[in-house]
Structure formats: structure tokens, C-alpha cells
């Protein structure tokens, strides 16, 4: 461990600074302030450190590797995925229908206690179709949820289906469908997970969320945008963890943004006085920390993404409009009334993006009237047309695609040739649209997201390494109006020291993206194993040797 007054002197082989990758660039970090104190050549740095030593400030030198800014996962669910993990979720990725049913049966038999709910994730709807509750009859009265790879649809066992039907009676505004055969989409996915969650203690989730955040450091991620907690209970667990994190002197909390549904924002505002008394959240903090999340459409996995042309395998079907015009207008008025400064809209299909742009027009009008400098972002941004790209550029919106969605080329069965327009990163940058990268947890590796964007199949999807790293660090920091994301003096000292081989692996190469889950996992492992150590605000938060 270093003393608080000792500078950390990084002497890497090369460093990513404002001018790109450069050799003979050294970085001095002040752990006391958490800022980069000096960036200079080797000789100049040595002279500066000597002068600082004369003033009583010593230094510790960390040699070798490549220095990079800490990464921001700008679209992640750190209050959602840990809860799924805590509930013992089993993956069905890549399985056929027969394999899926066998896996569910084996899991059911291994837990004789029927009160223990079962959760299965990542059902591949291109391989498994027409699965129903009737085929899960062997689980009896047990609550079982099978969620597809998009998390926007799935199948409920007969017992769980009955509970979902009861929720429908009390909540008339649920979006999506619940079929009598147990198949559900959209809001019913969240309701199914919420029912299963009720079987577990809230304190258990808080611990798993903390473990997840600590684990993000080993991936080089030092900041996260949370795009929708599962429910208000999960959000409160995250806010309490934030308070406890800061009270323990751990420095800045990794989650820099929470985007929540309108009803959750309203609940927070009503409880704000109590939250402030408990030291959880102040009124000033919440206006910068919390934003509203809306949904223009659904997902490709559940065929609910809103398209301008019909789905290739379903005549006269275009997807759904999730939050309709009336709901969007009401939510935006609420955001302005609450003093919130940011709105994020989930939009995957081209017609969904167009619907999101309607929300933006209402948002700009409302913020201009209120005199608020607000931001607007479009999540996923999967299938934008050339006219939409021009419109988004003119509007000033930010976009947050997930390069990991390039793996969705398997949806050719429902998109046809349009599958080539998933994640057009190069087109987005060509239009000068500010672009941030996220992972959405599929998988939750920002290094793999960077790799995918530099090795994508089509030129409209493929970008250079510096562009990908910028989308993964500096752009998100600019959105947060935070002094991080670049290795410059007086910037927050969030940085990664990695093996030089990492840059070779991430640099553009032949399109060689694997769609085999084991090969994907192996690549993620290789990339993340290259990280030697990670620092957040000048404090080491991960070391490969530990």
C-alpha cells in the first residue's frame, strides 16, 4: 500500500493521452486529491518529481504496460443482473427446445421444495419457438419463469401465470401481452421477475449488487450508467449502497447515473425529505443523479421492436409502440416538474427511433420553457436509416448503442438483410453524433464491446480503436459533465494499466466475431486477463496479483 502523500508515478510503454497512443509519456497521480497531477515526458517528469520530493512529496514508480483511461459502461443494469444471479438463474443460451426442457426438469428435480422459484435466462428464440406453460406441466405449482435473451419476453409456468393474471387486474397499464399459454412480453417480464424476487430478502440483494460493482473494476470499468432497476426496491438498495460506499471512504460511487421509470421517480421525489434525513440522497444530488427512462418499442428477441417494414417472418406485423404518445408526454412533464435533467429512450427499430424523436421534441420544448439545460439520449439505436441519422444529428441527441448487439445477427430470420444495420457505429460517427458505448450485460465486458466494434463484419459497423476507446471513456464523461475519461492533468485519476498485447487484440483486424458462446467467453477472458491493475480516483481498486 502507498502512503496518501506519495505520488503514483506511472511509467508505461505507451499511454493513451489526448493526442492518441504515445510512448515516453509518464503520468503522476495524486492519491490525496484523486487527480492526475502531471503528464510529461520521462525526463521532464523525473525533474518534476525531484522538485516535489524536495517539498516533502515522495513517489512510487509503477513501470510497464499500457495506460488507458478507465472505461464507462454507459448502458448497464447493475441493480438488475446481480438480483437475477442472486435468484440462482440458469442460462439456456444456445440450447435446443429438447435441451431447454431437460435443463428445466433437472433443475426442478434438484430442488424438491416447491416454494423455491426457478428462473431461466437467455432462451434463444431463433432455436426455441412455441414453448408454452403446458410443456412445463412437470413443475406442478412451482413458480417458474423462462426469460428470452432480450429480457423482453418469456414463458411462465401455470402457477406463475395465475399470479401474473392477478397483477393484470390491479395494474391496467401493463404494456405487452400475457397469453393463456403462458407466453408473455414486455412489462410482464418485469412483473414475473418481481414475483420471484419476493421470495428473497432485500439485504441479500444489496450484498450481491456490491459484489457486482467491485467485480466491474477487474473489467476496467470505473463508472456505470444504470439503465432501469427492476423495481423501486432494487433502486432503494442501490441508493443505500451508494450512501454506505461513501461513508466507508471508498471514494466516488461507480454508478454515476440512475435512469428510472416515471412512477419510480415520483416515489423518490415524495420520499426525498426522509431520504435526505437518512443521508441517502439530497435534493441537489438527485436532480443530477436520476433521469427518466422511457421505451419507444420492445426488442428484436421478442419481435416487439417497432419497425417501419414488417417482420420478415410475420406478415403485417411491425412490433409495438411501448410508451405511446400520451404516456411520453406525461412522463416528460413529470420530469420537468421534478427538476430532472435527463431523459433516456429505449429505441431499437427504425420506427422506434422515429417515435423516440417525438419524445425529444417534447423534451426540448419543455426544458426550454423551464430554463433547464437538459440532455436526451437514445438507447440501443439499432436500425437507424440515413434520414434518421441526419435528424438525430440535428436534434443534439446522444446515442448509446451496444456493440455486443452485433451478436444479434442471428435475427436474420425476422429481419432479413436489415440485420446488417444493427449497430452502425461508423455511420453514427460519420454524422458527428455523440456516441457512448454500453454492454447491456450481453456479456458485461466493455473490452469485448470495443473488440466487436473494431472487428465488425460490415464497414458501416466497424470503427477504429481510438474511436472505440473514446466512445467507452471520454464521451460518457462529457455526458456526465465529469472531469474523467482522459489522461490529462487535473482530470480524475481513473486509469487502467494493461499488458501491451491488449492493444494488439483490440486493434482493427479481420472480421472474426464468433457466435459460439464458449469462444465468446474465451475471448472475454483473454481481454480481461490483460488488465494488470485499475485505479479509481487515484486509489488502486484492482490488481491482477491480488
Task: Please give the DSSP secondary-structure letter assigned to residue 474.
Answer: H
Q: How far is CA 416 from the centre of its chain?
A: 27
State the pLDDT confidence band at 344, using cuts at 50, 70 and 90.
Answer: very high
Give residue 2's pLDDT.
43
Residue 167 structural domain: 88-197
Q: What is the largest CA-CA distance in the chain?
A: 78
Give residue 428's pLDDT.
98
Q: What is the C-alpha to C-alpha distance for residues 155 and 153, in angstroms, rounded to an integer? A: 7
Grid look-up 412533464 returns: 333
Does 497 fall in a domain? no
Task: Find the mean pLDDT for residues 444-470.
Answer: 96
Tens of pLDDT, residue by residue over 52-104, are 999 999 999 999 999 999 999 999 999 988 888 888 899 999 899 999 999 99
Give residue 129's pLDDT.
87
Q: What is the C-alpha to C-alpha distance for residues 199 and 202, in angstroms, rounded to an integer? A: 10
- Per DSSP, the three-state class of 383 is coil
Residue 509: pLDDT over 60: yes
Tens of pLDDT, residue by residue over 514-542, are 888 888 899 999 999 999 999 999 999 99
Q: Is 82 left (phi over 0), alpha (psi -120 to 50) or beta?
A: alpha
Does 485 fall in a domain? no
Residue 3: pLDDT over 70: no
Burial track 211-230 (b if 16+ CB lie within 10 A, e otherwise): ebbeebbbbbbbbbbbbbbb
Q: What is the C-alpha to C-alpha distance for residues 145 and 141, in angstroms, rounded to an integer? A: 12
Q: Could you tell me the three cell numbers for 330?
A: 406525461
State the pLDDT confidence band at 409, using cuts at 50, 70 and 90.
Answer: confident
Inter-residue contact 402 to 437 (CB < 8 Å):
yes
- Per DSSP, the three-state class of 77 is coil
Positive or negative CA dihedral for 362, 368, 372, 373?
Answer: positive
State the pLDDT confidence band at 4, using cuts at 50, 70 and 90.
Answer: low
Q: What is the C-alpha to C-alpha distance for residues 218 and 541, in angstroms, rounded to an integer? A: 8
Residues 6+ apart with CB under 8 A from 337: none
Residue 256: pLDDT over 90: yes
Does 267 fall in a domain? no
Residues 6+ apart with CB under 8 A from 149: 93, 121, 122, 123, 124, 125, 301, 442
Give residue 81's pLDDT.
87
Task: Find the mean pLDDT for residues 431-438.
Answer: 98
Backbone angles phi, psi at 259, to 5 degrees: -105, 120
Task: Find the mean pLDDT for residues 484-513.
Answer: 94
Give residue 1's pLDDT.
39
Q: Is 251 left (phi over 0), alpha (psi -120 to 50) or beta?
A: left
What percentage of residues in the chain have a pLDDT greater than 90? 82
Residue 189: pLDDT over 90: yes
State the pLDDT confidence band at 172, using cuts at 50, 70 and 90.
Answer: confident
Tens of pLDDT, residue by residue over 114-123, are 888 999 999 9
Give residue 435's pLDDT.
98
Does 417 fall in a domain? no
Residues 6+ apart with CB under 8 A from 304: 152, 153, 176, 185, 186, 297, 298, 319, 320, 322
Q: 188-202, 206-220, 260-274: lowest mean pLDDT where? A: 188-202
Tens of pLDDT, residue by residue over 287-324, are 999 999 999 999 999 999 999 999 999 999 999 999 99
Cβ count within 10 A of residue 18? 10
Grid look-up 420478415 returns: 312
Give residue 114's pLDDT.
85
Q: Which residues pair with 8 in a beta bridge?
A: 29, 60
What percentage of residues in the chain have a pLDDT greater than 70? 99
Choice between 408 and 401, residue whose per-residue pLDDT is larger: 401
Q: Is 483 left (phi over 0), alpha (psi -120 to 50) or beta?
A: beta
CATH number of the CATH domain containing 141: 3.10.310.70
Grid look-up 509503477 returns: 62
Residue 423: pLDDT over 60: yes
Helix (H) and strand (E) counts in the chain: 20, 22
Give residue 18's pLDDT.
84
Does 402 fall in a domain? no
Residue 480: pLDDT over 60: yes
Does 115 fall in a domain? yes
Q: What is the C-alpha to C-alpha distance for residues 358 and 417, in angstroms, rounded to an integer? A: 27
CA distances from 382 to 300, 316, 408, 431, 450 (A): 10, 21, 10, 15, 17
Cβ count within 10 A of residue 162? 12
Q: Which residues pair with 167 in a beta bridge?
A: none
Q: Is 435 left (phi over 0), alpha (psi -120 to 50) or beta?
A: beta
Does 130 fall in a domain? yes
Inter-residue contact 275 to 239 (CB < 8 Å):
yes
Q: Provide the mean pLDDT of the chain.
A: 93
**Number of domains the chain contains:** 1
Does 174 fall in a domain? yes
Q: How far is CA 330 from the centre of its chain?
A: 26
Residue positions counted in the chain: 546
CA-based nearest residue to 459, from 513, 511, 401: 511
Tens of pLDDT, residue by residue over 380-391, are 999 999 999 999
Inter-residue contact 497 to 533 (CB < 8 Å):
yes
Give residue 118's pLDDT.
96
Amino acid at each position: 500500500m502507498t502512503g496518501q502523500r506519495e505520488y503514483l508515478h506511472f511509467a508505461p510503454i505507451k499511454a493513451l493521452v489526448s493526442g492518441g497512443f504515445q510512448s515516453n509519456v509518464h503520468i503522476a497521480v495524486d492519491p490525496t486529491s484523486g487527480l492526475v497531477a502531471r503528464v510529461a515526458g520521462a525526463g521532464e517528469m523525473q525533474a518534476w518529481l525531484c522538485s516535489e520530493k524536495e517539498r516533502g512529496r515522495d513517489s512510487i514508480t509503477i513501470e510497464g504496460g499500457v495506460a488507458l483511461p478507465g472505461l464507462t459502461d454507459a448502458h448497464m443494469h447493475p441493480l438488475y443482473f446481480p438480483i437475477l444471479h442472486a435468484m440462482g438463474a440458469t442460462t439456456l443460451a444456445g440450447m435446443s427446445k429438447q435441451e431447454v426442457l431437460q435443463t428445466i426438469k433437472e433443475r426442478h428435480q434438484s430442488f424438491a421444495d416447491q416454494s423455491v422459484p426457478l428462473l431461466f435466462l437467455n432462451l434463444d428464440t431463433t432455436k426455441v419457438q412455441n414453448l408454452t406453460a403446458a410443456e412445463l406441466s412437470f413443475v406442478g405449482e412451482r413458480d417458474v419463469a423462462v426469460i428470452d435473451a432480450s429480457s423482453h419476453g418469456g414463458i411462465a409456468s401455470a402457477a406463475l401465470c395465475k399470479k401474473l393474471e392477478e397483477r393484470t387486474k390491479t395494474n391496467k397499464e401493463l404494456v405487452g401481452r400475457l397469453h393463456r399459454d403462458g407466453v408473455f412480453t414486455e412489462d410482464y417480464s418485469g412483473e414475473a421477475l418481481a414475483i420471484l424476487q419476493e421470495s428473497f430478502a432485500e439485504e441479500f440483494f444489496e450484498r450481491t449488487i456490491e459484489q457486482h460493482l467491485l467485480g466491474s473494476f477487474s473489467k476496467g470499468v470505473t463508472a456505470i450508467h444504470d439503465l432501469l432497476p427492476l423495481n423501486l426496491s432494487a433502486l432503494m438498495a442501490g441508493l443505500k449502497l451508494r450512501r454506505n460506499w461513501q461513508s466507508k471512504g471508498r471514494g466516488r460511487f461507480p454508478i454515476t447515473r440512475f435512469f428510472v421509470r416515471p412512477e419510480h421517480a415520483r416515489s423518490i421525489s415524495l420520499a426525498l425529505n426522509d431520504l435526505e434525513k437518512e443521508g441517502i440522497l439530497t435534493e441537489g444530488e438527485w436532480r443530477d443523479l436520476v433521469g427518466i427512462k422511457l421505451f419507444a418499442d420492445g426488442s428484436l428477441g421478442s419481435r416487439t421492436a417497432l419497425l417501419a417494414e414488417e417482420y420478415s417472418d410475420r406478415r403485417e406485423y411491425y412490433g409495438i409502440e411501448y410508451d405511446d404518445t400520451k404516456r411520453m408526454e406525461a412522463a416528460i412533464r413529470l420530469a420537468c416538474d421534478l427538476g430532472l435533467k435527463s431523459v433516456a429512450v429505449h429505441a431499437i427499430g427504425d420506427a422506434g427511433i422515429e417515435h423516440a424523436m417525438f419524445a425529444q421534441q417534447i423534451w426540448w420544448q419543455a426544458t426550454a420553457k423551464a430554463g433547464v439545460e437538459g440532455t436526451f439520449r437514445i438507447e440501443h439505436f439499432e436500425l437507424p436509416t440515413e434520414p434518421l441519422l441526419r435528424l438525430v444529428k440535428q436534434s443534439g441527441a446522444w446515442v448509446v448503442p451496444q456493440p455486443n448487439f452485433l451478436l444479434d445477427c442471428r435475427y436474420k430470420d425476422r429481419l432479413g438483410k436489415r440485420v446488417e444495420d444493427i449497430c452502425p457505429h461508423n455511420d453514427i460517427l460519420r454524422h458527428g453524433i455523440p456516441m457512448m458505448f454500453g454492454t447491456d450485460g450481453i456479456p458485461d465486458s466493455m473490452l469485448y464491446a470495443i473488440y466487436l466494434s473494431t472487428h465488425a463484419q460490415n464497414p458501416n459497423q466497424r470503427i477504429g480503436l481510438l474511436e472505440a476507446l473514446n466512445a467507452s471513456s471520454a464521451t460518457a464523461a462529457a455526458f456526465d459533465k465529469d472531469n474523467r475519461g482522459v489522461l490529462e492533468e487535473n482530470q480524475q485519476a481513473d486509469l487502467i494499466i494493461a499488458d501491451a498485447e491488449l492493444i494488439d487484440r483490440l486493434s482493427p483486424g479481420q472480421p472474426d466475431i464468433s457466435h459460439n458462446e464458449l469462444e465468446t467467453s474465451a475471448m472475454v477472458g483473454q481481454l480481461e486477463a490483460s488488465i494488470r491493475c485499475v485505479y479509481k480516483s487515484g486509489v488502486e481498486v484492482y490488481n491482477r496479483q491480488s
